[in-house]
Amino acid sequence: MEWERESVDAFVIRNARVIDPFSERDEVSDVVVVDGIVATGTPRDAMVIDGSGLIVCPGLLDIHVHLREPGQTHKETIATGTAAAAAGGFTFVAAMPNTQPPVDNPDIVAAIRRSAHQADHCEVGPVAAITQGRHGRAIVDFESLAQAGAVAFSDDGTGVEDDQVMREAFRAAARVGSVLIQHCEYVEISAGGVMHLGEISRRLGFPGLDPRSEEAMIERDLELCEETGGRYHVAHISTARAVEMVRNAKNKGLPVTTEVCPHHLILTDEACANADPNTKMHPPLRRDEDVEACRTGLVDGTIDCIATDHAPHGADEKAKGFLSAPPGIVGLETAIPLARLAMIESGLADWADLVRWFSKGPAEVLGLGRPPIQPGHSANLTVLDPNRGWKIDPATFRSKSRNTPFAGWDVIGRAWGSIRGRCVLHDPGDSQRRPLDGGIE
**Which residues are identified as catalytic?**
309
Q: Packing angle between helix 288-300 and helix 351-358, nearest 10 degrees?
A: 90
Distance, CA of 158 to CA of 147 (rounded, Å): 25
- Of 237, 234, 232, nearest to 254 by C-alpha is 232
Query: What is the DSSP code string of 49-116?
Result: EE-TT-EEEEPEEEEEE---TTT-TTT--HHHHHHHHHHHTEEEEEEPS-SSS-S-SHHHHHHHHHHH
DSSP conformation class of 122: S
* Cα 115 off chain centre by: 19
Instruction: Give the burial class of 112: count Cβ atoms within 10 A of its Cβ; 0-12 exposed, 13-18 middle, 19 or more buried.
Output: buried
Distance, CA of 323 to CA of 318 (rounded, Å): 10
Report in angstroms the alpha-carbon separations of 175 from 71, 170, 229: 31, 9, 11
Between the CA atoms of 167, 170, 176 and 179, what dihedral angle is there, to the nearest 10 degrees? 160
How far separated are the first and last CA of the chain, in Å rounded? 31
Report in angstroms the alpha-carbon separations of 112 from 74, 164, 380, 398: 17, 30, 21, 19
- On whether the CB atoms of residues 401 and 314 are closer than 8 A, the answer is yes
Report in angstroms the alpha-carbon separations of 369 from 58, 104, 117, 409: 12, 25, 19, 36
Beta-carbon contacts of residue 422 (< 8 Å; ≥ 6 apart) = 7, 8, 9, 35, 36
**126: part of which helix (H) or strand (E)?**
strand 123-128
Report in angstroms the alpha-carbon separations of 68 from 308, 311, 394, 433: 15, 8, 19, 34
SS (H, E, C) 180-195: EEECCCCHHHHCCCCE
